[in-house]
Amino acid sequence: MSGIVQVEPLTTARALRGPFDYLRPDGAGVGSVLVVPFGRRDVVGVVTGLADRSEHDAVAPRRVLDARLPPELVDLALWIAAEYCSTPARALSLLLPPKGTRAKTALWASRAGDPDGERLTDGQRALLAGLPRFAAGDLAALRRLEGRGLVRIEPRVVRRAPVHVSVGATRPRPELTSDQRAALAEVLAATPGERLLLHGVTGSGKTEVYLQAAAATLAAGRGVIVLVPEIALTPQIVARFAERFGDTVAVLHSKLSSGERHDEWARLRRGEARICVGPRSAVFAPMEDVGLVVVDEEHDASYKHEGDPRYDARLVAERRAATAGAVLVAGSATPRPESFHALRRLRLPARVDGRRLPPVEVVDMRDARRAVHPRTHEALVDARKAIVLLNRRGWSNFLTCRSCGQVWECPSCDVTLVMHRHDGLLACHHCGHREPVPERCCACGSVSIARHGTGTERLESELEGPVFRLDADIADPAAVLARFQAADSGVLVGTQMVAKGHDFPDVELGVVLDADATLRFPDFRSEERTFALVAQLAGRAGRGPRGGRVLVQTLTPDAPSIALAAGHDADGFLVGELERRRALRYPPFSTLIRVVCSSEAPGAALAAATAVKERLGAAGTPALGPAPLFRLRRRERAQVVVKAGNRAAAVAAVGAAVDATAAAREHRPASFSVDVDPQ
Ligand code: ADP
Ligand code: ZN
Ligand code: ZN
């Protein structure tokens, strides 16, 4: 051993800040994963730096683990820790390969030595001739031949492959349209670190541009990362990459078995796979020399991670591309105002098949009596295949007693319980609490209980014909999508999951019920979300020879997000939305940071939030709030929000204010969560 390694122990404690010095084991460097003695325990740690000597009495690590992270990923994690007010340990934990798994091996037998002069039975000769194939029952016989030097038996690593490529099923690579050619040329000519927005209507051939840009990147000897929203809902894009590039593609996502994940991770790390396709976490693919990073459907909310560190994979992708000298391509039919503002725009204005986008009719629901307007009903009867979007799962939103007004609420959260009729349950959509559907009022005993509102489950039962439901209550979304695709006729009903990038050529009708549901949300992004939802659903209809149409039911037909989505005017929407945000100083013209304090102790959350706000004010960083939030999982909550021009300074100020408040005795009962760029 010579020199010192600086190790960040992977503990979750917020107060504990490394790195700590240890003696450097032979061959260890930045990215090495070690087991080190830490306090009275042994913990896993990652080497984040090297030094010649230490001011402390450094001790030796216990051992060096096999996995070794690329040093650039270690830097990326340290950046995430700072950018999102988290800790290095929590950010580094995102990089580690799946725990407790190893390579899988099988025995491999091959011929060795010369059998010609040997006395062998016919059975033994047949066995030798059949190698390397053999039956498990022949192993003993092979071991005897091994003893005579005629056979070599050794364990070999076998790959657990998550994607099965059907060779021969490959479609020919299409001739690009002139718009695609122009976009591809821009991607290939982009300077290292440049960020591009591929703004193309649904069906305009964005994926084909990614595929050909990936092929060119591989040909130049560099690697490719392709981020997609949830894999279960977008199997098509994974299949297209696998079909085009075969074993060069690794897929990383949480639904893989840990063995499969281990093998895909190792293939990337060894450089055997040079394209990684996966959701948000694939931005941490252990590859070297990445030349292209694609973020498909860049508007998708799943790119934001909900646990600490609350990173945004789109921003991490930009950072990774910038440091690796890679080109970043974000693609969407409904880009975020942030990307439209900051990235260089490439356009694919028309569908590849030359079809026009379907006409969108706005259905004014202000005097409607039922959840489904008669006009919508008629259109549904006429259409052979339709998609209906209703962003509310369950049967009814809430129950009330007709006699005394009792409302059924979650015992742990300040929200109403949603009825799920098939399961006979009332459920809290925030904490998972469940209870049986009441037969009578628990307050007055009345049996007259009213059910309010319509969710996807109720809609499913009310629509005619074959109905396919897709929402978070459905265990296997891919199977539902496959059944809908195979069906001759029917209606796909569900939450925003039905508006993701599916490509069904024969859908003639798209319907959005209650398009204002997202608009009613008190959030500066509600306009953007509503626009994206309507425009994305419109993109699912009318892809086939029979064309299509879209109906949007709304109580606010004049809201810009709805009217402009109906006119397929993404540019008009984005320009107007950016003006509004500039005037109100919302992102991208500022950075928002949200601090949520929570506690089971009454009043403690609000007191902690007040203290954070005061500390911020004293440090010259004004904050909005504190505002109470609804109680969640028995914890009261309160938040303060910082709207800042100088991002780095604000992140540092919030981090310091939260650390100081959390360390104060009187705020012990509270916990703190910091969200930079909250969604
Ligand atoms: P997007 O990603 O913009 O929704 P896709 O790349 O999925 O669009 O393209 C839509 C459909 O058109 C796909 O079935 C794709 O195979 C096909 N396609 C893409 N580019 C071409 C092309 N240049 N010529 C013919 N078909 C194409
Ligand atoms: Zn009652
Ligand atoms: Zn609850």
Place of tokens 């109100």: 584
For ligand 2, the distance from its centroid to the CA atom of residue 394, given in whole angstroms, is 23
Q: Answer yes or no: is 659 within a domain.
A: yes
Is the domain of 140 the same as that of 237?
no
**Do the Cβ atoms of 44 and 61 come closer than 8 Å?**
no
Measured distance CA(609)–CA(606) in Å, rounded: 5
Residue 578 pLDDT greater than 70, yes or no: yes
Nearest CA owner, ligand 1 atom 18: 205
SS3 state of residue 317 = helix
Nearest to 385 by CA among 497, 500, 466: 466
Is the domain of 385 the same as that of 519?
yes
Is the domain of 226 the same as that of 344?
yes
Final residue before a domain boundary, out of 281, 313, 348: 348
Residue 169 pLDDT greater than 60, yes or no: no
For ligand 1, the distance from its centroid to the CA atom of residue 386, given in whole angstroms, is 22
Q: Which two tokens stand for residue 447?
A: 């049996």
E strands, 54-159, are 63-68, 104-111, 151-158
Q: Answer yes or no: is 286 within a domain.
A: yes
Query: For residues 536 and 105, which has the higher predicted lDDT (pLDDT)?
Result: 536
Measured distance CA(604)–CA(617) in Å, rounded: 20
Mean pLDDT of the chain: 91
Measured distance CA(361)–CA(551) in Å, rounded: 5
SS3 state of residue 619 = coil
Ligand 1 pocket member 174 (CB < 6 A): yes
Is the domain of 139 the same as that of 190?
no
- What amino acid occupies position 645? G
pLDDT at 168: 44
Final residue before a domain boundary, out of 327, 348, 369: 348
Ligand 1 pocket member 203 (CB < 6 A): yes
Ligand 1 pocket member 279 (CB < 6 A): no
Is the domain of 338 the same as that of 388?
no
Is the domain of 610 the same as that of 557?
no
Number of domains in the chain: 5
Residue 106 pLDDT greater than 60, yes or no: yes
Q: Answer yes or no: is 112 within a domain.
A: no
Q: How many CA atoms lie within 13 A of 565 on its CB side?
A: 32
Q: Which domain holds residue 636?
A: 591-676
Measured distance CA(593)–CA(609) in Å, rounded: 13
Q: Which atom of ligand 1 is nearest to the CA of 176?
A: 23
Nearest CA owner, ligand 1 atom 9: 205
DSSP of 446-507? ---EEEES--HHHHHHHS-SSEEEESTT-S-HHHHHHHHHH-SSEEEEESGGGGSS---TT-
Which CATH number characterizes residue 258's domain?
3.40.50.300
Q: Answer yes or no: is 497 within a domain.
A: yes
Residue 284 pLDDT greater than 90, yes or no: yes
Point out the least confidently predicted range of 127-131, 406-410, 502-506, 657-661. Answer: 502-506
Q: Which two tokens stand for residue 405?
A: 């007004």
Is the domain of 188 the same as that of 42?
no
In sequence order, the 6+-apart residues with CB closer than 8 A to the CB of 164 are: none
pLDDT at 171: 67
pLDDT at 521: 76
Q: Answer yes or no: is 210 within a domain.
A: yes
The mean per-residue pLDDT over the stretch 237-250 comes to 90
Is the domain of 552 the same as that of 633?
no
pLDDT at 163: 63
Which CATH number characterizes residue 49's domain?
3.40.1440.60
Measured distance CA(521)–CA(149) in Å, rounded: 75
Q: Are strands 490-494 and 449-452 parallel, antiparallel or unpaired?
A: unpaired
Q: Answer yes or no: is 195 within a domain.
A: yes
Question: Please, what sign has the CA dihedral across residues 528, 532, 533, 535?
Answer: positive
Confidence of residue 167 (pLDDT cuts 50, 70, 90): very low
Is the domain of 544 the same as that of 599?
no
Place of tokens 């840009």: 213
Residue 659 pLDDT greater than 50, yes or no: yes
Final residue before a domain boundary, out of 584, 602, 632: 584
E strands, 304-384, are 327-332, 344-348, 360-364
pLDDT at 367: 87
Is the domain of 289 the same as that of 366?
no
Q: Print the SS3 string covering 373-428.
A: CHHHHHHHHHCCEEEEECCCCCCECEEEECCCCCECECCCCCCECEEECCCCEEEC
Confidence of residue 100 (pLDDT cuts 50, 70, 90): low
Q: Answer yes or no: is 418 within a domain.
A: no
Nearest to 78 by CA among 128, 138, 124, 17: 17
Q: Answer yes or no: is 440 within a domain.
A: no
For ligand 2, the distance from its centroid to the CA atom of residue 438, given in whole angstroms, is 11
pLDDT at 126: 87
Ligand 1 pocket test: pick from 207, 209, 485, 540 the residue with the most ligand atoms within 8 Å of its Cβ.
207
Task: For the full predicted model, state whether its pTM sits above 0.85.
Answer: yes
For ligand 2, the distance from its centroid to the CA atom of residue 454, given in whole angstroms, is 22
Place of tokens 């005061």: 614
Nearest CA owner, ligand 1 atom 15: 205
Is the domain of 76 the same as that of 197?
no
Which CATH number characterizes residue 640's domain?
3.30.70.600
Place of tokens 């004049």: 558
For ligand 1, the distance from its centroid to the CA atom of residue 208, given in whole angstroms, is 6
Task: Calculate the CA dihedral of residues 15, 19, 20, 25 and round it to 10 degrees.
Answer: 150
Nearest to 434 by CA among 394, 493, 392, 474: 394
Ligand whose nearest atom lies closest to the CA of 244: 1
Q: Which residues surround ligand 3, an ion (CB under 5 A)?
A: 410, 412-413, 428, 430-431, 433
Q: How far is CA 668 from CA 639, 663, 672, in A?
A: 17, 7, 10
Per residue in 457-485, pLDDT (tens digit) is: 999 999 988 999 999 999 888 899 999 99
Is the domain of 138 the same as that of 226?
no
The mean per-residue pLDDT over the stretch 314-329 comes to 97
SS3 state of residue 87 = coil
Ligand 1 pocket member 204 (CB < 6 A): yes
Measured distance CA(547)–CA(267) in Å, rounded: 44
Q: How many CA atoms lie within 13 A of 459 on its CB side?
A: 32
Per residue in 144-159, pLDDT (tens digit) is: 888 888 888 887 766 7
Per residue in 601-620, pLDDT (tens digit) is: 999 999 999 999 999 999 99
